């Protein structure tokens, strides 16, 4: 299993029955694969649909039915199409139960940076700031390190996405919960020791007596 699949399968277990969930593009979008249909989850795409439902049959795509990454999609029964004001009222107003976002850095305060690298990558924040600020629960799914550097840092050096503390961070090594007491190491990946997680993490982690292995969907 590769890192992205492991992260997606762990996050899938966080998605409650009947929830309204927004998945970011890239790694977070993989989470939907591991959420069983019978859980009754509605996935929102911020371009204006509640109830994303997989891919349309080849050759039967509708050019007016895409996800936020501009890919063709299909819908589940009960889906609704909405305009951008409604879409972001749902997001900002806390009506979206959970969002899963990618990350560039998360720091000891639980702050997320995921929208730009000054001088290198300035794509624009799109809906990320609204999602990170307004969703009822913010889950960050990202690889633990990039180019040999930990992405779980003492303090974000990249521009922040929101001041709001994210609720959970899932990497291919660990599940980390930002709390008032700092970043708590809640779980470790199968076969990964606490020491290995600490060695790969720049930030200080609070380590409880028991750090169980992740259970995957």
C-alpha radius of gyration, the chain, whole number: 17
CB nearer to another protein: give 71 or 190. 71
On the 0-12 / 13-18 / 19+ scale of CB atoms within 10 A, 111 is: buried
Q: Nearer Cβ to another protein, position 83 or 149? A: 83
61 binds another protein (CB under 8 A): no
Reference 217, options 161, 170, 154; nearest CA is: 170
Give least dist CB 121 to another protein, A.
8
Asked if 175 contacts 168 with a C-beta cutoff of 8 angstroms, the reply is yes
Tell me if 57 contacts another protein by CB under 8 A.
Answer: no
Pairing of strands 205-206, 182-188: parallel
122 is a contact residue toward another protein (CB under 8 A):
yes
77 binds another protein (CB under 8 A): no
Enumerate the active-site residues.
46
CB 29, CB 23: distance < 8 Å: yes
Give the x/- contact pattern for another protein in 26-45, rule: CB under 8 A: -------------------x
By CB under 8 A, residue 136 contacts another protein:
no
> CA-CA distance, 9 to 122, in Å (whole number)?
30
Nearest to another protein of 13, 164 (CB atom)? 164
- Is position 70 an interface residue for another protein (rule: CB under 8 A)? yes
**C-alpha–C-alpha distance, residues 206 and 183, integer Å:** 6
159 makes contact with another protein (CB under 8 A): yes
Chain positions contacting another protein, by CB under 8 A? 45-49, 62-68, 70, 81-85, 87-88, 91-92, 121-130, 133-134, 159-164
């Amino acid at each position: 299993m590769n890192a992205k699949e492991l992260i997606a399968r762990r996050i899938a277990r966080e998605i409650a029955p009947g929830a309204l969930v927004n998945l970011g593009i890239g790694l977070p979008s993989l989470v939907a694969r591991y959420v069983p249909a019978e859980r009754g989850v509605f996935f929102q795409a911020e371009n204006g649909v509640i109830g994303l439902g997989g891919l349309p049959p080849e050759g039967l795509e509708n050019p007016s039915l895409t996800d936020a990454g501009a890919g063709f999609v299909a819908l589940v029964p009960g889906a609704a199409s909405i305009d951008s004001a409604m879409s972001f009222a749902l997001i900002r107003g806390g009506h979206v139960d959970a969002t899963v976002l990618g990350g560039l850095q998360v720091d000891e305060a639980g702050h997320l940076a995921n929208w730009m690298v000054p001088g290198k990558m300035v794509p624009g924040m799109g809906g990320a700031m609204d999602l990170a600020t307004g969703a009822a629960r913010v889950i960050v799914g990202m690889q633990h390190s990039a180019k040999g550097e930990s992405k779980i840092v003492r303090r974000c050096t990249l521009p922040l996405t929101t001041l709001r503390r994210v609720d959970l961070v899932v990497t291919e090594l660990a599940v980390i919960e930002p709390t008032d007491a700092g970043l708590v190491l809640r779980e470790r990946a199968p076969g990964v020791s606490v020491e290995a997680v600490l060695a790969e993490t720049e930030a200080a982690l609070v380590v409880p007596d028991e750090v169980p292995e992740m259970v995957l969907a």
